[in-house]
Structure 1
């Protein structure tokens, strides 16, 4: 767990996230990344004291739904989540895909074709919710894990019979330590109907004045080009960033 604190307003906002490099990069002493810079700029502009903590995604996701004055990033905005949060603003958009081992013979041209394979996803991740909405069935062709390290290891464990995992297209490059390891995996299908529209959002128990101030801060920073500058700087080394 890692915390950052701003020191402006008497009202303190709790911010939850996960390690999702290069969007959120959690190290021993800091939380960095493209999304983190955008969220921190927003909080500074809105003049709120805050603390950021990083946990496995499912834990951050559950806490962010119910905590008082509690927010979360980077949260993909999809219909299933619309009524669960107060939405502050857009951070960035990115692509995601099915990945298999390099030596697999899997060929997919539609999401429906993927139903004949065993697929692993992160619990409460956008891909988890999206595939459930497409009638994939947990413990039948959809298997859920709690972190990305476990997700990739499942492909290597023949005893688990996992054929595919769902990953952001920059995540693999940032999770695997070297090019040789990265080459073990291949992209077999990029989603066209699941764009990762990452947002900053808060719980329904967050005071509306906080939401309004954060929304206004994000609009101002977007209009002034601050966010575009952040995205361009990080985007130089990314393949999936849309905007």
Structure 2
């Protein structure tokens, strides 16, 4: 047997082993990124993941769980990942990253006609309280900047419900998910007005440190190809009502 043939067989066996190991991905109920509709898991991020599964040939199981549970699981479980996850300096060393799969920004919104005008975090702090899902990076971001009137809630749905019924004056929302958050409470975008944007964010798939780096690289390469051939943009356009700019992706070294 020649050395070249032996190396080829070893590479083939390594690739087969990567595909044979089942990958478990966790996601949360967060429209329009991932949610259950008529008994089926769907959403923008789910479609992106399904496309990458198809292109990598990786056997994958997706589970809808509370975000906090998924976040903890992926830090300890091999061959696992979590989506969609905002990539931050604090989180960066905890995971291996594939993305971005979406780029947006997070802002404060008030009820239209309320007369409320806030333009700085100092002005926000003068309000009685600001409800934010405690597992969101927005909560961590605002807390780190000394906002004392933060009220942590368990879900985005609870935050939006409190906003609808006037229990809080401001809604914290990403521009890409605002419409769906409001629709769940029977509201429309026309009923709110932007106060100011306080954070840009990019959504990624976060893989556990115990996942094979070659597998993660294959997923990143598949995402880059989907960006180049327009597949990612077509998925975004189906799910987002406002014009969407496809995230630029640096080539994999």
**TM-score of the two chains, using structure 1 as the length reference:** 0.82
Q: In the TM superposition, what is the alpha-carbon distance from 1:16 to its structure 2 partner?
A: 0.9
Once residues 240 and 120 of structure 1 are traced to their aligned partners in structure 2, the CA distance between those partners, rounded to angstroms, is: 28
Change (3 A) 1:32 1:79: same
Residues 170 and 240 in structure 1, CA contact (< 8 A), matched pair in contact too: no
Q: In the TM superposition, what is the alpha-carbon distance from 1:54 to its structure 2 partner?
A: 1.2
Change (3 A) 1:240 1:155: farther
- Unmatched segments (≥5 aa) in structure 2: 1-17, 247-253
Q: Residue in 2 aligned with 1:3?
A: none
* Partner residue of 1:154 out of 162, 174, 180: 162
* Partner residue of 2:208 out of 203, 210, 213: 203
- 2:197 is aligned with 1:186: no
Residues 84 and 205 in structure 2, CA contact (< 8 A), matched pair in contact too: yes
Q: Residue in 2 aligned with 1:5?
A: none
- 2:250 is aligned with 1:242: no
* Partner residue of 1:78 out of 88, 104, 107: 88
Residues 182 and 189 in structure 2, CA contact (< 8 A), matched pair in contact too: no
Residues 160 and 181 in structure 2, CA contact (< 8 A), matched pair in contact too: no
Q: Residues 164-213 of structure 1: CA distance to partner in whole angstroms, max 9, x if unpaired?
A: 2311234342134489633795234231x512311112122222222122
Q: In the TM superposition, what is the alpha-carbon distance from 1:218 to its structure 2 partner?
A: 1.6
* Matched length: 228
Following TM superposition, where does structure 1 have runs of at least 4 consecutive aligned residues deviating by more than 6 angstroms? none
DSSP-derived class of the 1:95 partner? strand
Once residues 226 and 204 of structure 1 are traced to their aligned partners in structure 2, the CA distance between those partners, rounded to angstroms, is: 28
Q: In the TM superposition, what is the alpha-carbon distance from 1:143 to its structure 2 partner?
A: 1.1
Superposition CA RMSD, Å: 2.6
9-18 or 223-232: bigger deviation: 223-232
Q: Residue in 1 aligned with 2:170?
A: 164
* Partner residue of 1:109 out of 112, 116, 119: 119
DSSP-derived class of the 2:168 partner? coil
- 2:107 is aligned with 1:126: no
Q: Residue in 2 aligned with 1:41?
A: 51
Once residues 148 and 240 of structure 1 are traced to their aligned partners in structure 2, the CA distance between those partners, rounded to angstroms, is: 23
Residues 101 and 184 in structure 1, CA contact (< 8 A), matched pair in contact too: no
The structure having more radius of gyration, on CA atoms, is 2
DSSP-derived class of the 2:49 partner? helix
